[in-house]
Amino acid sequence: MARLEKPNKVMMLQAAAVLIILQMAGNKRKTAPCNNPTITEEAEIECILDERGNDNGKKKKRKQTHEYLCAWTDGQEPQWVAAKYLKGTLALEEWENQEEEEPEIFDSPEVLTEKCHSLAQLIQNAKRTSILLGAGISAPILPTFRGKHGLWTKGAHHNKKANAKVSDGLQPTLAHEGLVALEKAGFIYYKATQNYDDLSSRSHFPAHKLSELHGNIFTETCDDCHKVFHRDFEVPKDDSVDHETGRHCEDCGGILRDSIIHFEENLPERALTTAMNKFAESDLTIVLGSSLKVEPAASLPFRGRKRTRSNRVYRDVKACIVNLQPTGYDSQADLIIHGTCDQVIDAVAKELLGSNWR
């Protein structure tokens, strides 16, 4: 069974408050004037917001103090704290594990229109089109992980959607709806998603044509009879042991477990095997909103080409990537579109299904 492999950097740690002692008057947080430089104050850091003065060994005429901008759990104004006082803290470890934000790239309106037309033509001429979804397709309503202010980036605290949940009543995006319409018209052969947000199911995309590679936050499965329960609430527990949800099967009483896949855990064998076979059979694959950094999902769209080379049979296999940032697989794509998933799928649906496709 394939495991969910870690990206180049360790997954961001869960946010946690950290206790530190600020021992210099210039660095301690205070709400009243203080002339005693030996006074110390215990302060709770919620997270680090920014960093300055880290020259990484570069020589500068005027060396700036290495400091971190810290947010406090009690809501007080953020304050710059010297780096030496944060050594060994969870807040600093969390900050160092967060990724630098990559700038987003947007095609001009003219170029975007031309590329969407090219994609529509590829879909129209393909016999089997398979789609791989990443967090970017849900970006209009949910936070991404590596996109602008993504949850795993150093700009995460700017993300206004950080606490958004599908269970709060959020609906599938325009791109989700467009994929359903394209599938009904016979243009989509299969879809695999790295998202556990349930939006593919909620958009009514056919379950027999869908692989949820990283699980579904709304489903739990019985250990004994293997019945799957689809809930209207998020089933995982923060303090869960081995994915147990604390509930039991309504049919046989067996233990129920959530389906979320964490790093270093095996992907669901049936979902992965089916997706691998379907993508290998496809002559067009489309990536929608994925940085393609997490294997084995990242290489799925290019399995058809690997099969062609190994079997030494010529097949005109095409691949398209729709993402606002570069990916490690860009060199293997025939078409790269720097636009939002909503923009691209709406334009493609209008060309293939008509302007009133919704």
Cβ neighbours of 301 (radius 10 Å): 27
Instruction: Report strand pairing: 228-230 vs 219-222.
Output: antiparallel
Of all helices (H) and strands (E), which one includes residue 132?
strand 129-133
| Residue in 35, 15, 252, 26 with CA at minimum distance from that of residue 152 | 15
Strand partners, 153: 99
User: Distance between CA atoms of 245 and 241, rounded to whole angstroms?
Assistant: 8
- The Cα–Cα gap between 340 and 358 comes to 18
How far apart CA 347 and CA 339 sit, in angstroms, is: 11
DSSP per position, 234-274: ----TT-STTEEEEE-TTT-PEEEE-PPPTTSBPPHHHHHH
Residues taking part in catalysis: 214
Helix (H) or strand (E) holding 350: helix 341-353
Residue 157 and residue 47 in contact, taking contact as beta carbons nearer than 8 Å: yes
Check if the beta carbon of residue 328 is closer than 8 Å to that of residue 146. no
Q: How far is CA 340 from CA 9, 60, 239, in A?
A: 25, 41, 36
At residue 305's C-alpha, the angle toward residues 264 and 193, to 5°, is 40
Cα separation, 141 vs 178, in Å, equals 16
Alpha carbon distance 209, 274 (integer Å): 9
Place of tokens 């010297």: 82
